[in-house]
Amino acid sequence: MYHGAEHKTINAFEDGAELNVEGVRPYSRQHPRCGTAFLLTVFVFSILLFSAIGPLPMHTRIISRLVLLPLLASLAYEYIRFTGRLRNHTLAKILMAPNLWLQNMTTAEPDDDMLAIAIAAFNAMYTEEQRSAAKV
């Protein structure tokens, strides 16, 4: 439920809504750039890539997985960013659907106390982020 509260808060922030319980409550508990979506994307990309490579001897297979993991993570990250940026386009909605469906299992509708905690955590993080950026 806290995971859902986090998503609602981020969705409200990105939409420019007022960050209070009443302002955040109507937003979706799904978010296209969720870490869970990232993990599912890495998993699917791994299956596609390693299926294309084909069978390898065990030691070569292990080394290939280790060497290609940063590439897979980078591709998944950029894919998540790309589909999130185009979230209102039909093709992006289709591409994001499995990730959002998975979030139905990893999030639940939060209560108002959980929303208040998520908002407070977000505000603390955002304030610190702004303070750090000002120092640079």
Helix residue ranges per DSSP H, the chain? 2-15, 21-24, 35-53, 58-85, 90-106, 112-135
Mind listing the pLDDT tens digit for each residue in 33-82? 999 999 999 999 999 999 999 899 999 999 999 999 999 999 999 999 99
Tell me how many domains the chain contains.
2
**13 and 48 inside one domain:** no
Q: Are 35 and 102 members of one domain?
A: yes
pLDDT at 84: 87
Same domain, 99 and 112: no
Do 44 and 74 have their domain in common?
A: yes
Residues 124, 65, single domain; the answer is no
Same domain, 40 and 64: yes
Residues 113 and 130 in one domain: yes
The pTM of this model reads 0.81
What is the per-residue pLDDT for 117?
97
Average pLDDT over residues 127-135: 91
pLDDT at 136: 73
Domain around 126: 1-29+108-136
73 and 50 share one domain: yes
Q: How does DSSP classify residue 36?
A: H
Q: Residues 16-40: pLDDT tens digits?
A: 999 999 999 999 999 989 999 999 9
| Calpha distance 90→53 (Å, rounded) | 31
Is the pLDDT at 87 greater than 90? The verdict is no
Q: Which of 8, 28, 26, 44 is nearest to 117 (CA)?
A: 8
Do 37 and 89 lie in one domain? The reply is yes
Does residue 123 sit in the same domain as residue 78?
Answer: no
Q: Let me know whether 46 and 84 are in one domain.
A: yes
Instruction: Express as a percent the part of the chain with pLDDT over 90.
Output: 90
Same domain for 59 and 102, yes or no, is yes
| Mean pLDDT along residues 116-126 | 97
The mean of the pLDDT values for the chain is: 94
